[in-house]
Amino acid sequence: MPPAGYCYMWAGNFRRWQRRFFVMHTPGVVLYYKRSNRKGTVWSINLKGASVVITPTHNRQLIIVSGCMLYYIRTLHQVP
């Protein structure tokens, strides 16, 4: 079973933190859903060629830069 779990993502029309269920799919691709039952709309982030940066001012927040897209992701627990 691939690694999976909840994280918060900065998104939406109102620009706020929204809880999403993330699943590692094929190498270099992360899928995320609104719920853990994996039904409904699925989105993906391609990590091939992407940069992942831990925000220095917030140790639970990651910024993924993939092409021209920025993804702000906040973990539920501190990143080691």
In the prediction, which pLDDT does 2 show? 85
Q: Is residue 36 part of a domain?
A: yes
The pTM for the full model equals 0.85
Q: How far apart are CA 24 and CA 2, in angstroms?
A: 6
Statement: residue 67 has pLDDT above 70: yes
Model confidence pLDDT, tens digit, residues 10-50: 976 777 899 999 999 888 899 999 999 999 999 999 999 99
In the prediction, which pLDDT does 78 show? 75
Provide the pLDDT confidence category of residue 6 given band limits of 50, 70 and 90. very high
Q: Angle at CA 66, nearest 5°, toward 62 and 34?
A: 65
Q: Which two tokens stand for residue 43?
A: 């989105």
Q: Is residue 79 part of a domain?
A: no
Q: Are 31 and 21 in contact (CB under 8 A)?
A: no
Statement: residue 51 has pLDDT above 90: yes
Q: Is residue 80 part of a domain?
A: no
CATH number, domain at 69? Answer: 2.30.29.30
Q: Is 49 helix (H, G, I), strand (E, B) or coil?
A: coil
DSSP H or E stretch at residue 35: none
- How many domains in the chain? 1
Q: How far apart are CA 25 and CA 32, in angstroms?
A: 10
Domain of residue 33 covers: 4-74
